[in-house]
Amino acid sequence: MPIQTTEKIWHNGTLIPWDQANIHVMSHVIHYGSSVFEGIRCYGQPSGSAVFRLPEHMQRLIDSARIYRMEIPFTLEELCAAVVDTIEANGVAPCYIRPIVLRGYGEMGVNPRGCPIEVYIANYPWGKYIAGHGGADVCISSWNRLAPNTMPALAKAGANYMNSQLIKMEAEVNGYHEGIGLDVNGLVSEGSGENVFVVRNGVLFTPPLSNSALSGITRDSVLTIARHLGLTVTEQSIPRELLYIADEVFFTGTAAEVSPIRSIDRIVIGDGKTGEITRRIADEFFGIANGLKPDRFGWLTPVKVDSSEPVTA
Ligand SMILES: Cc1ncc(COP(=O)(O)O)c(C=O)c1O
């Protein structure tokens, strides 16, 4: 889907016109993948709009930058305020928000230290990410996720998404909606842009971060919601075949939100319908995000933009 443009993009503290948010082809990031970024959603509320877990996302951006020795010249509070300013300046909600920190134009060569750090924040309308009405058809990818101590999986770095692109393209070429990557030891890691959850015998499982999974903010939200609902939750390594015999499997992510999986490698999961636990978690997640249920965990940051779409769970 082509990007729907908005008016302004925040750049190093100033709102500039969308069309002027350009970088030079000799910028470090273009040649060596030196960027870290975030993906955040702003949801419509019964009155106004709200960003979902804004401080947690911006803290992860700061953490990703720290891993790569990138010094962001803004505090957590300044970055959060910049997101709110950008959304309010553009007057677009619901929306997806894309903050990015990159190594810009300065020197060539792998060593990035001589290149300036540039911070941009854009927002634009974006709908559902995982296709598949009634659940996604998914495959196990022939590509593994990042091996430990190669590309750090806890950094949400642009370069990591070369691996994600291989997983996503392979899945689509073979007729699936999405692929799940195994880690270097053959254990379940995550989707190309989502964390994975499994339900079996009433227990909720998800791989620990040591299986090369991103520490998803939605993953954390689902773990919190599940505990609140009184479910038994366990973060433990998941062998591939557990997916095939699961009662329910679903993806989580800012883009994917809570997305049920209908089949994996053409093996139908459970009875092929969205499971009871997936549905209860999704109801709570969308209820909170859309302001239809109490914000009991303090996850919403209000923005002064009226939602352009009806509120739906
Ligand atoms: C590789 C990968 N895993 C997991 C996630 C889910 O993370 P979050 O819930 O913070 O969006 C994402 C999305 O950002 C991702 O790209």
| Residue reference for tokens 């001589």 | 114
Helix (H, G, I), strand (E, B) or coil at 90: helix
Q: What is the pLDDT of residues 140-185, one digit of tens each?
A: 999 999 999 999 999 999 999 999 999 999 999 999 999 999 999 9
CA of 97 to the centre of ligand 1 (A): 14
CA of 167 to the centre of ligand 1 (A): 14
CA of 193 to the centre of ligand 1 (A): 5
HSE-up of 267 (CA within 13 Å, CB side)?
Answer: 16
Query: Which atom of ligand 1 sits closest to the CA of residue 254?
Result: 11
Helix axes 217-228, 54-67, angle to 10 degrees: 130
Using CA atoms, how far apart are residues 63 and 72, in angstroms rounded to an integer? 10
Catalytic member of 156, 273, 293, 304: 156
Q: What percent of the chain has a predicted confidence (pLDDT) above 70?
A: 98
Mutational pocket test of ligand 1: of 98, 156, 167, the residue with most ligand atoms within 8 Å of the beta carbon: 156
Query: Which atom of ligand 1 sits closest to the CA of residue 38?
Result: 14
Residue ID of nearest Cα to ligand 1 atom 1: 193
Whether 156 is a known active-site residue: answer: yes
Whether residue 144 contacts residue 182, with contact meaning beta carbons closer than 8 Å, is answered with yes
Q: What is the pTM of this model?
A: 0.96
> Is pLDDT at 310 greater than 60 in this prediction?
no
- List alpha helices for 23-95, DSSP H: 28-32, 54-67, 76-90
More confident residue, 145 or 310: 145
Q: What is the pLDDT of residues 213-231, one digit of tens each?
A: 999 999 999 999 999 999 9
The pLDDT of residue 313 is 44
Closest CA to 241 of 197, 190, 186: 186
> Is pLDDT at 281 greater than 60 in this prediction?
yes
CA of 304 to the centre of ligand 1 (A): 27
Whether residue 186 contacts residue 212, with contact meaning beta carbons closer than 8 Å, is answered with no
Query: Which atom of ligand 1 sits closest to the CA of residue 153?
Result: 1
> Is pLDDT at 134 greater than 90 in this prediction?
no
Q: What is the pLDDT of residues 35-58, one digit of tens each?
A: 999 999 999 999 999 999 999 999
CB within 6 Å of ligand 1 — which residues? Answer: 39, 164, 190, 193-195, 214, 216-219, 252-254
